[in-house]
């Protein structure tokens, strides 16, 4: 199930007609290369990069316009096949290229989501497992300029290690490479929070969402996990996104 809250990012310094920009920095602490993808929501123009390669221990930064709504994720196990098509084992955007070109991640995928308002108002951000899990991730506001709670949203654990067999996505070697959400796997309203169970009162946590929550209590485990998974920071902070945070 796709959520409406979303991420934001930044690339080289972009010029958005002189508008204020927010900087998103990326650090890959995983012992393998990842290929981050970016998606701007609400039919707005995409960022100047919609996907890039990030080697282990490498860093990268992007600027986004403000206001901005969008999301970010990391693809894993990517390569170019015999036909020249770029494909990934997890969180592929199915563009056939390193850039996603306005396409989102195919679940399961750990997402970082942002809603950044104009005028230095209150940012909303989260790490979401609503679309499943493929790798650990965190989002940390950079304190200069940021006020309020400004806490780190994080899923530092390897959820794949505790993923129930019925939710496991396996790679070509038989290892578990990602963990599906119960919504994506079963499509049942009680997992997806869709009609007739579309409200928070009608859609409580389930045994499956509790697995995600137990491993990553500071991330969204299902659609109505706002009290635990949603974070705020005001005053126009920048953000650091880390893959495989320690």
Length of the chain: 246
Question: What per-residue confidence (pLDDT) applies to 160?
Answer: 98
* Domain coordinates in residue numbering, the chain: 21-243
| Residue 211 pLDDT greater than 60, yes or no | yes
Residue 144 banded pLDDT, cuts 50, 70, 90: low
Structural contact between residues 68 and 40, judged by C-beta atoms closer than 8 angstroms: yes
Q: What is the homologous superfamily of the domain 21-243 according to CATH?
A: Thaumatin (2.60.110.10)
Q: List pLDDT tens digits, range 26-35.
A: 999 999 999 9
Look at residue 10 and tell me whether its pLDDT is greater than 90.
Answer: no
pLDDT of residue 5: 40
- Residues 130 and 183: their CA atoms lie apart, in Å, by 8
As a whole number, mean pLDDT of residues 14-26 equals 64
Considering only CA atoms, which of 24, 233, 20 is closest in space to residue 122?
233
């Amino acid at each position: 199930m796709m959520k409406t809250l979303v991420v934001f990012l930044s690339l080289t310094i972009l010029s958005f007609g002189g508008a204020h920009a927010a900087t998103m920095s990326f650090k890959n602490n995983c012992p393998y290369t990842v290929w981050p993808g970016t998606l701007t929501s609400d039919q707005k123009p995409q960022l100047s990069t919609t996907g890039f390669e990030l080697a282990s221990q490498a860093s990268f930064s992007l600027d986004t316009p403000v206001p901005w709504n969008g999301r970010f994720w990391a693809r894993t196990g990517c390569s170019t096949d015999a036909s020249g098509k770029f494909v990934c084992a997890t969180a592929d955007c199915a563009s056939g290229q390193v850039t996603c070109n306005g396409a989102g991640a195919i679940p399961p995928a750990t997402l970082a989501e942002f809603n950044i308002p104009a005028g230095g108002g209150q940012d909303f951000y989260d790490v979401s497992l609503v679309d499943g899990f493929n790798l650990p991730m965190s989002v940390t506001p950079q304190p200069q300029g940021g006020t309020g709670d400004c806490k780190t949203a994080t899923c530092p654990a390897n959820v794949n290690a505790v993923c129930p067999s019925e939710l496991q996505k396996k790679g070509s070697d038989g290892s578990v490479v990602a963990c599906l959400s119960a919504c994506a796997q079963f499509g049942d309203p009680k997992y997806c929070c869709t009609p007739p169970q579309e409200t928070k009162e009608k859609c409580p946590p389930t045994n499956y969402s509790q697995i995600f929550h137990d491993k990553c209590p500071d991330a969204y485990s299902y659609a109505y996990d706002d009290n635990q998974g949603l974070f705020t920071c005001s005053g126009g902070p920048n953000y650091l996104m880390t893959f495989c945070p320690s």
